[in-house]
């Protein structure tokens, strides 16, 4: 399955969030007619240990392969899509990124927690492997933090700021909306009520985006949300809006990257949305890195 067929990549470690991500991949793969790639990565520091004999390690590997193959058969029956199961060894995020390239993945779907995290514990941060994938992937990453999700997509929430990169989300929103017959809800947050110029710019941009989306016959609604509390009120305003609308099934955000550094960074607002949102979040890396800061 390494030809030019496109795919969805679902890293799986059998924890709750990775299984939720897997279930949510079915509709998307079916509508796009993509293959599904299931990837389990054995971290060698955990697998190769003096505490276990070679035979123990081989039995563990056989057990994982068997479980993954059974899962792949189940996924194929439920989704109607071609499914390939892979077990690789090494660093988790590196193998995810390499596999995405090798199998022409268009999207990566994964949970926000990593293997080994305690279930039921309050989430204070995104799993390290998940964050590294979001930082470095050159394709959109859809993360799942909530426990239950609508089987499909009714509305997409598109938060906009005044950077030119934020408009790159619009084409992805249109693509997903067409697939699911979804609406697009465009919103901006104004936290400085004493700035009529910014208000006017935000309203103008929302009007332009609404016109562009409506021209392709997708229902589009816009709203400017005014808040107190400055920039710290940004993330709560976005999430409150999503929950109050009740039919938002996907939030699209831009992640921050700084191309002058060896390490890549995800902006704090983007991290907080990914970490706190009960709605799936699609993270998109800006293609033209002209700024060192992106809000969302």
pLDDT digits 0-9 by tens, 242-271: 999 999 999 999 876 444 333 344 678 888
Listed residue (81, 149, 112) closest to 17, CA to CA? 112
Higher pLDDT, 168 or 228: 228
Same domain, 134 and 202: no
Where residue 70 sits, what CATH number does that domain have?
3.40.50.620
Same domain, 107 and 187: no
pLDDT band at 206 (very low <50, low <70, confident <90, very high): very high
pLDDT at 286: 75
Same domain, 17 and 90: yes
**Domain limit, last residue, from 91, 118, 144:** 144
Same domain, 21 and 118: yes
Q: What is the DSSP string of 170-217?
A: HHHHHHHHHHHT-EEEEEEEE--TT-HHHHHHHHHHHHHHHHHHHHTT
Higher pLDDT, 229 or 258: 229
Same domain, 104 and 221: no
Same domain, 160 and 66: no
Q: How close are the terminal C-alpha atoms of the chain, in Å?
A: 35
> Quick check: is 104 in a domain?
yes
Same domain, 161 and 37: no
Range of the domain at 244: 155-284
Listed residue (191, 182, 188, 210) closest to 201, CA to CA? 188
Q: What are the strands of the beta sheet with 155-159, ordered from one edge? A: 83-89, 35-42, 7-11, 105-111, 141-144, 281-284, 248-254, 155-159, 183-190, 220-226
pLDDT at 148: 79
> Quick check: is 289 in a domain?
no
Supply φ then ψ for residue 161, to 5 degrees: -120, -165
| Cβ–Cβ under 8 Å, residues 187 and 296 | no
Structure tokens at 162: 């005044």
Q: Which residues contact 208 (CB under 8 A, 6 or more apart)?
A: none
Higher pLDDT, 15 or 52: 15
Total domains in the fold of the chain: 2
Same domain, 34 and 74: yes
Q: How far apart are CA 104 and CA 220, in angstroms?
A: 31
Higher pLDDT, 285 or 104: 104
Same domain, 165 and 249: yes
The residue-averaged pLDDT of 217-224 equals 96
Q: How far apart are CA 77 and CA 284, in angstroms?
A: 30
Share of the chain above pLDDT 70, in %: 82
Check residue 14 and give left, alpha or beta (phi > 0: left; psi -120 to 50: alpha). left
> Quick check: is 1 in a domain?
no
164 pLDDT higher than 80: no
> Quick check: is 251 in a domain?
yes
pLDDT band at 52 (very low <50, low <70, confident <90, very high): low
The residue-averaged pLDDT of 213-226 equals 95
> Quick check: is 20 in a domain?
yes
pLDDT at 147: 83
């Amino acid at each position: 399955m390494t030809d030019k067929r496109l795919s969805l990549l679902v890293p799986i470690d059998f924890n709750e969030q990775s299984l939720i991500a897997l279930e949510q991949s079915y509709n998307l793969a079916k509508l796009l007619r993509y293959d599904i790639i299931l990837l389990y990565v054995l971290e060698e520091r955990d697998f190769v240990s003096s505490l276990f004999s070679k035979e123990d390690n081989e039995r563990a590997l056989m057990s994982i392969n068997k479980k993954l193959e059974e899962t792949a058969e189940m996924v194929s029956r439920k989704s109607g899509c071609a499914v390939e199961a892979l077990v690789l060894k090494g660093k988790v995020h590196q193998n995810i990124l390499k596999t995405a390239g090798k199998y022409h993945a268009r999207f990566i779907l994964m949970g926000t927690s990593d293997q080994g995290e305690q279930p039921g514990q309050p989430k204070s941060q995104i799993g390290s492997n998940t964050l590294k994938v979001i930082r470095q992937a050159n394709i959109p990453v859809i993360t799942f933090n909530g426990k239950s999700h609508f089987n499909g997509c009714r509305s997409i929430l598109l938060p906009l700021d005044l950077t030119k990169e934020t408009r790159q989300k619009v084409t992805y929103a249109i693509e997903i909306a067409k697939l699911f017959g979804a609406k697009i809800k465009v919103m901006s947050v104004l936290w400085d009520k004493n700035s009529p110029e910014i208000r006017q710019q935000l309203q103008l941009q929302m009007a332009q985006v609404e016109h562009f989306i409506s021209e392709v016959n997708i229902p589009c609604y816009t709203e400017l949300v005014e808040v107190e509390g400055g920039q710290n009120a940004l993330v709560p305003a976005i999430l409150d809006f999503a929950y109050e609308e009740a039919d938002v099934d996907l939030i699209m955000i831009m992640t921050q990257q700084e191309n002058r550094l060896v390490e890549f960074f995800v902006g704090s607002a983007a991290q907080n949305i990914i970490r706190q949102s009960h709605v799936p979040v699609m993270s998109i890396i800006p293609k033209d890195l002209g700024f060192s800061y992106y809000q969302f």
